[in-house]
Amino acid sequence: MNATDVLQTEPAAMHSRDAAGDNAPCARAGGRHMMIRHLGMAPSVHPDAYVAPTAVLSGQVSIGAGSCIMHGAVLAAEGGPVQVGAGCVIMENAVLRGTPRHRLRIGDRVLAGPHAQLTGCTLADEVFLAGGAMVLPGAHLGRAASVAAGAVVHLGAIVAPAARIPAGWVAVGDPACCYPPGQAEPIAAGLAEAGWSFFPFMLGVDDAGGRRDQLRAALARYTAAMIRHHRQDQVIAASTTDGP
């Protein structure tokens, strides 16, 4: 089944909110959220955006006008920039990351539900992600696309505008095809056909060898990189980030 063949029901609320001004999703509020300077880059938050006190912004993160970053959300530009447009809502405990190969770019009036995970992907305007949805590096979601609860948009998948990924399904390929839960073999075949492989792409580890060896090599590489990249992180004092 092609992603474009699945009915899209666009959340009406996404049309009723202006990108800024009185109709923005959340009013402006002074915040004391965690701001971290990473590799010399500091986050940038529009004066009319709201960031909850328990959210974390690290590195080259930018938040557009009228956007809301809710409690527990983590936006980490630890490999590449993270850009959130205007009028967006990033809900509780969502995790957004840029990667060295792919920055994370989110358009305007996008909603990412609780516990959503977005890494190195591009979301056009008015995209809706339900709770627990996952979008992996290199993926692109067209305008007004919708990803239901627990669904996955896999490495490099290109989802058409207004397409809908059903709950728990997996989107793979260009153009994206949708597979129901449990279809591991077709999903792997779709990734191979598109030239994407998880271990080499995500962690720089060769696919050759046993799974255990791959995991060991991946963890050794990843932990060393994390330590090296974060040793010089600096928490930015709240007084330098408060609004007037």
Q: What is the predicted pLDDT for the residue at 219?
A: 78
φ/ψ (deg, to 5) at 223: -65, -40
Q: Would the pLDDT of 23 be above 60? A: no
Q: Which of 8-12, 211-215, 220-224, 229-233 has the lowest mean pLDDT?
A: 8-12
pLDDT tens per residue across span 166-212: 999 999 999 999 999 888 888 888 887 776 666 556 555 566 666 67
Q: Would the pLDDT of 151 be above 90? A: yes
Q: What is the predicted pLDDT for the residue at 208?
A: 61
Q: What is the predicted pLDDT for the residue at 241?
A: 43
227 vs 156, more confident: 156
Instruction: Find the distance separating the first CA and the last CA of the chain, reported in whole Å.
Output: 53
Confidence of residue 240 (pLDDT cuts 50, 70, 90): very low
Mean pLDDT across the stretch 96-104? 93
Q: Would the pLDDT of 118 be above 50? A: yes
pTM of the entire predicted model: 0.79
- What integer best gives the mean pLDDT of the chain? 82
Residue listed under structure tokens 């598109």: 194
Q: Would the pLDDT of 244 be above 90? A: no
Q: Would the pLDDT of 37 be above 90? A: yes
Q: In this structure, are residues 101 and 80 in contact, taking their beta carbons and an 8 Å threshold?
A: yes
Render 140-184 in DSSP notation, one character per residue.
EE-TT-EE-TT-EE-TT-EEPTT-EEPTT-EEETTTTEEE-TT-H
Mean pLDDT across the stretch 54-77? 97
Nearest to 201 by CA among 214, 182, 186, 184: 214
Identify residue 19 by its one-letter amino acid code.
Answer: A
